Structures are given as C-alpha cells and as structure tokens.
Amino acid sequence: MCGIVGYVGDKEAAGILIDGLKRLEYRGYDSAGLAVVQPKGIKVVKKRGKVGILDESLKKAKLKGGTGCSHTRWATHGIPSKENAHPHLSCDGKIAVVHNGIIENFHALRDSLIKEGHKFRSQTDTEVIVHLIEKFYRGDLGIATRRALKLVRGAYAIAVVSSNEPGRLIGARCDSPLVVGIGKGENFLASDAPAILAYTKKVIYLGNFEIVSLTKDSVKVTDLSGKEIPKETSRITWDAEQAKKSGYPHFMLKEIFEQPQVLRGILDERLKKARVSFQELKISGAELKKFKQIAIVACGTAYHAGFTGKYILEEKLRVPVWVDTSSEFRYRGPIVGKSTLVIVISQSGETADTLAGLREAKARGAKVLAICNVLGSSIAREADGVIYTHAGPEIAVASTKAYTAQMAILYLLAIYLGKLRNVISSKDAEKLVVQFKETVAAMRLLLGRYKKKRNTIATYAKAFRSYYLKHKEKGFFLYLGRNINYPNALEGALKLKEISYISAEGYPAGEMKHGPIALIDENPWVVAIATRSRVYEKMVSNIEEIKARGGIVIAIVTDGDKEIERQGVNYVIEVPVVEEFFSPLLVVVPLQLFAYYMAREFGYDIDQPRNLAKSVTVE
Ligand code: G6P
C-alpha cells in the first residue's frame, strides 16, 4: 500500500519520479505527489486522485533538479486529500519525506513535537517523521534520519531529500519494501522493482532497520547506529516490456492471456522429464520427509490458491493439510511446531498479515516454505525456503496469473514431495506431468476462443447488466463449486466483487440446502462449476434445484456436455476436457474473464478498483 520512488542523478528527476509512480500505482491511488530539490529550495506538487492528475499539473510546474522523491497513496491515517498527500515538508520547508507504512506511536510523537513548536499541516502519521528529522538535523541528513527512526515504532519505507544537501537521497525501511536501484551516474529508490526497470536492473534489497545514503555515484548502507553493512547486488530478471500493456486495453486482460505462457515457463524451469527440481528451496529433503502435517497461510487470491493446494496435497501426499487466512492464523495461537510444514503464499511477498503469520510459525518451531512472485521480497527472505513463481510482474490489482502460477507450484510440490516421501512412483509422476502439460495446452486453446472481439462471456456480462438495470439493480451472484473446484468458486466470486462491485459469494454446492438456497428466486445469478468430475452428478442435481426455484444459471461445463443444457440452464461456458485433478487451472480462466467483462460492461476502472491496493503492507 502506497508506492514510493526516489531519484538522484544528472537527469531531471520529475519525469523519472512520475514514470515510477505510474508503474507503482497498483499500490494505491488516492493521491499522488512529488518533491524536487531545485536551486531555490524544494518544490512540492501534490494532487488528490490518480497519478495522471499529478502528471497533468506538472506540465505547468516545470520542475528542474536532479534529486527528488514521489509517492502514490492508499489512505490509512487521514482522508484522501491534497493536505494528506505526500511528500510532507519540515516546518522550514527544507526537508521532504515520502512514506509507505504506518507509524504506530505517531500520536505521542506528534504531541511532543507540537509542544516543541512544530507546526503540522496534515492528519497523517507520516508527518512526524519529517518533523523529527528536522529536529535532529545538524548538517547531515543521514544522521538526522537515523536519530528520527530510532524513536519511531511501526512499519516504514521512506525516501528523504533536503535542499541543504541537494545531491543526496536517503532511504530506510522496516517491514515495508524498498529496493535501491544502482545506475550509472544515477541511483534510485522504489517500493517495487517495476518502477525502475526501465533505468536499471541492478538492485540492492534493503533489510529491516537499514538506511541507505545515495548520491549519484555512491551507495552506502548502514544500520540505525551508523555501522556500515556490506550488501550484495542482485539482477532483476524481469524486463521493462513485461510491465507494459503490450496492446491490451488493460493489464488484467493481458495477465489473463499470459497464463499459458507463465505455466509453460514454470514447467520448463522446474522439470527435467518427470523430475521436479526447486533449486532455490533451502529446506533439505530429510526435513521435508519428516513433517506430519501442512499448514497453508495466505490472503485473498493467494489464500484461494492455498485452498486448492489443500486438495492437491492431501490427495497426493495423504497428510493432513489445513488452510488459514493469515490475519486469523497469526492471532489464534496456531498449533504448529517441528512436525508442521507451513507454506505461506504471497504474490508480492510483502503482505503484512502473511509476513506476521510466517514469523509466528517460525517462532513456534515450524519450517516455513514461501511461494512468492517478487524476488527478494520480505516473505521470500524471511522464510526457511522459497519457491518463486516467476510469473513476471503482475500489475492489475485483481490477481490472475499469480493465482494459476501459485497453483502450478503447488501441483509440482505435490509431485516433488510425493516422490520424496515415496507415495508417488516415478511412473505416476510421469503421468501427472503429462496431464499437467495437457492442461496448459487446453488453457491455450480455451483462451484462443476468447481472442475474438465478440465472445460469449462478454455477451453474458452484457446480459447481466441489462437484467440489473431492468430490475432496479437487484441481481447478485452465487458461485458454486465442489471438491477441488470449490476454491475456484470462492475465487470467481472474489474477482467479481473486486472489480465489478457486485455482491457475490462462493459456496460449496453441497451447502446450498443449508441456507443459501433460501436466496434463490429470480434475483441471484448462479455460476455453477459443473465440469466432468467425480462430483458431476451431484452438481447437476444442485443446478436442477436452483432451476426449479427460478434461479438464473451460468454453467461452466466440459466441451460437448449436453446434459446440463437439458436442465434449462440459461448460459453455458464450455472448457476443454482435462484431467479433473488439474481442472482448477483451466476452470478459473472463464471466471476471470467473466469478472473482467462485467467490470468493462459497467465501465469501471478494471486495473485499479476502488479502495483496493495490490500489496497490503498494513494490517
Ligand atoms: C490484496 C490484493 C489481492 C491479493 C492479496 C494478497 O488484497 O488486492 O489481489 O490476492 O492482497 O496479496 P499477496 O501479495 O500476499 O499475494
């Protein structure tokens, strides 16, 4: 939540700072602002609303200077307004700070700073940081920032500039992400690598309580007491092109269509014939053989991938697997220990609750394996072992390709652990790999059907909108699934809520009779996942029950299924035949597309839905 960028170098900072913000906008878009150190002092421009509005206003501002910082906000303390937008300035206007995170003791700090004569201009927690730095400033911005941060409790990633030291940029972090980009004659700070990919791929990942002092030619990392910390530089494998829309109207659509390629990449990277390898996984085979249960911890879409993981891992490993949302897991004294493998799943690797869950599990003696997309992220670094999804940058707030990539890793993990624990034979592993590859091919085929301008899913979205408007906005959605596709029902409903703002709930179809069926009249539209499986007939009966009560049904079925049509379902979406075990990878695609076309039909901002942020770094 919130994205920050910093620049020091010979180029004009403003353009680079804005460009970076545009690439970080998925982190928040309530307001945006930037500060540039100009010959006559710091100039701050900030606006309520999206980065585009700030960009427009900069055309008049003509900012000149090679040092600055910028921010896109997801409001926590203080309403989205110009006053609360970052950067925040010191009383004398000579220091500017941008911040991502929450300062928990800001009330106390603010009260004592006010007593000392500091004037606050916003309701934000962030503003205490800049006043503290001002208070401690004696000619060295780095020392003043260190002293200020020693008093601060909470999460932060900050960038600081001062007109007293025009060629210097300070960054620091604790629990909110910050990468340092190393350029030639220029250096950068950013919440996430895509912001600076166009300029450099050489980065340093800052650790907690580390502070970096940058000039255009130097990089020095210290701890809060000023002791220098030697840091490794890493190379980012993503390229700037991957973070562009490449002709698609929205990142979400691009990312949906990228899925076969992402899965193919995962298979190519991880498989040698039917042998799965996870090079970066640091947990030894001996340790992985020993655990007696698995706990999966994640939030949002990653939680749904984990939920599918329960079905995948239990079926193949025959060990108990339970799944929890991170925010519940961390506070309920989870019963995990030496015999538990805890798997945390996070696209960003920065979700605050998942990170806290990871720490809780480690403190209780469990081994933690992370499945992450972002290299060098906090979760990836703090876990005992990590498996990267390598799905490339996911920019749309609504997660799609990260979801299927996370599931893909869980499938491979099942094969890997199954062989290790001697519950899957080499022959079975080979068969599973073939089925997996067939599923990826089927996904490509399925998406090919929706490349056309007019497609059935888009038509169904249109039909719902007409219904909704005609019935005075009464329609809502129930998503039903069973067994391994039940988590997909949850995910389909989540996607619709996130970007179409239409009420949608996911249910295990067998639970309909225990409550939700009371909702059935002509109002709810029911999306029923009814592909060929061991629970197909049960699902057909559930559909019958809904139709008998006047519900409108969209059924997802296997190619050529005529039986469901006989139930009088209103709309049918066909998907190619694949092995039931791998079907979640395929079935989610029409659910993603349906949510996408619904949001498009209603004219909503698909990539940046209201109130959401891609990376939730606050609790
Ligand atoms: C936010 C995003 C979701 C994402 C969830 C977990 O809510 O909007 O798309 O699934 O966070 O994020 P993570 O980065 O941990 O996978």
Tens of pLDDT, residue by residue over 139-195, are: 999 999 999 999 999 999 999 999 999 999 999 999 899 999 999 999 999 998 889
Q: What is the Å distance from ligand 1's center to 397 Cα?
A: 8
Which residue has its alpha carbon closest to ligand 1 atom 1? 614
Quick check: CB of 615 below 6 Å from ligand 1?
yes
Contacts of 414 (CB under 8 A, 6+ apart): 312, 313, 315, 316, 317, 424
- What's the gap in Å between 466 CA and the centre of ligand 1? 31
Q: 43, 316, 401, 614: which one is catalytic?
A: 614
Query: Looking at residue 471, what is its pLDDT?
Result: 82
59 pLDDT tier (thresholds 50, 70, 90): confident
Asked if the model's pLDDT at residue 240 lies above 80, the reply is no
Look over the chain and give the mean of its residue pLDDT values, rounded to a whole number.
93
Write down the pLDDT at residue 513. 87
| Beta carbon of 300 within 6 Å of any ligand 1 atom | yes
Ligand 1 neighbourhood includes 299 CB (under 6 angstroms)? yes
Q: Is the pLDDT of residue 472 over 90?
A: no
- Cβ 616 under 6 angstroms from ligand 1: yes
In eight-state DSSP terms, residue 603 is T
- Cβ 389 under 6 angstroms from ligand 1: no
What is the whole-number distance in angstroms between the Cα of residue 231 and the centre of ligand 1? 29
54: left (phi over 0), alpha (psi -120 to 50) or beta: alpha
User: Which residue's C-alpha comes closest to atom 15 of ligand 1?
Assistant: 346
Q: How far, in Å, is the centroid of ligand 1 from the Cα of 213?
A: 31
Give the burial class of 406: count Cβ atoms within 10 A of its Cβ; 0-12 exposed, 13-18 middle, 19 or more buried. Answer: buried
Domains of the chain and CATH, by start: 3-239 (3.60.20.10), 251-448 (3.40.50.10490), 456-601 (3.40.50.10490)
Enter the pTM of the model: 0.88
Cβ of 488 closer than 6 Å to ligand 1, yes or no, is no
Give the residue, out of 27, 379, 399, with the most ligand 1 atoms within 8 A of its beta carbon, to mutate for a pocket test: 399
Is 372 known to be catalytic? no
Q: Is the Cβ atom of 177 under 6 angstroms away from ligand 1?
A: no
Mean pLDDT value across residues 40-49? 92
- For residue 79, count CB atoms less than 10 angstroms from its CB and return exposed for 0-12, middle for 13-18, buried for 19 or more: exposed
| Cβ neighbours around 55 below 10 Å, total | 19
Ligand 1 in reach of 325 Cβ (< 6 A): no
Alpha-carbon distance 517 to 613, whole Å?
33
At residue 458, the pLDDT reads 93
Say yes or no to pLDDT of 110 above 90: yes
What is the residue whose two structure tokens read 């009260």?
A: 111
Distance between Cα 306 and ligand 1 center (Å): 13
* Top mutation candidate among 25, 299, 375, 605 for ligand 1, by most atoms within 8 Å of CB: 299
Residue nearest to atom 13 of ligand 1 (CA): 346
* Helix/strand/coil for 103: strand
Out of 192, 615, 618, give the residue to mutate to test ligand 1, the one with the largest number of ligand atoms within 8 Å of its CB.
615
What does the pLDDT look like over 258-303, one tens digit per residue?
Answer: 999 999 999 999 998 889 999 888 899 999 999 999 999 999 999 9
Long-range CB pairs of 430-433 (<8 Å, 24+ gap) are: 430/273, 430/274, 432/274, 432/581, 433/267, 433/271, 433/273, 433/274
What's the rounded mean pLDDT across residues 461-481? Answer: 89
Which residue's alpha carbon is at the smallest distance from atom 8 of ligand 1?
614
Given the CA of residue 379, which atom of ligand 1 is nearest to it?
15
Among 296-310, 473-487, 508-522, the range scoring the smallest mean pLDDT is 508-522
Catalytic residue flag (residue 227): no
Nearest-atom number in ligand 1 for the CA of 326 is 15
CB distance 308 to ligand 1 below 6 Å? no
Span 520-552, pLDDT tens digits: 887 889 999 999 999 999 999 999 999 988 889
* pLDDT for 419 beyond 80: yes
Q: Would the pLDDT of 367 be above 80?
A: yes
Structural Rg of the chain based on CA atoms: 25
